[in-house]
Amino acid sequence: MSGDPLFPDCRPRCVRQMAVGDGHILHVEECGPVDGLPVLFLHGGPGSGCTPAQRRLFDPERFRVVMIDQRGAGRSLPTGELEANTTLDLIADLDYVREALGIPGWIVFGGSWGSLLALAYAQIFPESVHGLVLRGIFLGSREEIEVYVQGLGGVLPGHERGDPLAVFARRILGRNPGAALEATRAWLNYERALMGEPPVADFPDAAQLAKARIQMHYLIRDCFLVPGQVLAGIERIRHLPAVIVQGMADPVCPPPAADRVRRAWPEATWVPVAGAGHGGLSPPIAHACIKALGWVAECVEG
């Protein structure tokens, strides 16, 4: 796939700061027509926040897109807050926003961490979900997390030894600001290297520090999930139209997790993208996701 499959840049039609309890205020933006087909977009991370470029995945004439920066992430406040910040809290927030916006149900589109959150949300609120587009599957398992961090042994901060995730979590979540900055930069650059991106030019900014803090908070706790929880819950959403888009050369969320979902949910449409990596806006992945959303939308609209 060559060229740019994305839609033109667009500005949000509406931007809100929504208090959801526990002191958290979510940044929520809407794009597209108010009478468009509702789509909830879930960013990755955890802790990354939404970006303007991600709006370009959606036909601005067709979809009413709701983009939410999850608790502590992106432009939500307090930045990097970990109290009352669990997977269940995030799921409750999504349905709170849906009700507040008067949306009876929506298609849920999530990539990477967003794919896990989409699946978990749909399993708790299947009546609110009309279909799913899942990209770069992540199930939050200890096995996936261990595979992801195994290459960090050579960049452990302070010449420490031991479990890489534990070492980074201790520094990033610790009380020493200098150690947290150093460890955060190493952690972020590790992911960027996996994705073929250049390292961060300077010390991490507040949003990057928040992202790393939230990632540590979730990953050291197995994403607040019971082992096997997401796969076991597929029975509750088996009836929904769904597409799984998986880059077959994804080094961040490798194909085995997606294959487990595919085998547990053979009714879902499987879209392997040969040679594609993790980036959700890379041309081959974006093209597949846009096509997948179109197909799910046709199923929803009848």
Residue 22: active-site member: no
Kindly name the residue from 24, 43, 278, 287 that is annotated as catalytic: 278
Contacts of 17 (CB under 8 A, 6+ apart): 25, 26, 27, 28, 77
DSSP tag of 170? H
β 24-31/129-137 pair status: unpaired
Kindly name the residue from 27, 43, 48, 112 that is annotated as catalytic: 112
Listed residue (280, 230, 226, 286) closest to 257, CA to CA: 230
Q: 74-77: list long-range contacts, CB under 8 Å, 24+ apart.
A: 74/27, 74/43, 74/48, 74/49, 74/50, 74/207, 75/27, 75/49, 76/24, 76/25, 76/26, 76/27, 76/49, 77/17, 77/24, 77/25, 77/27
Residue 112: active-site member: yes
Residue 282: active-site member: no
Query: Tokens 């302070």 map to which residue?
Result: 158
Are 88 and 21 contacting, i.e. CB atoms less than 8 angstroms apart?
A: no
Kindly name the residue from 48, 141, 250, 282 that is annotated as catalytic: 250
Catalytic residues: 112, 250, 278
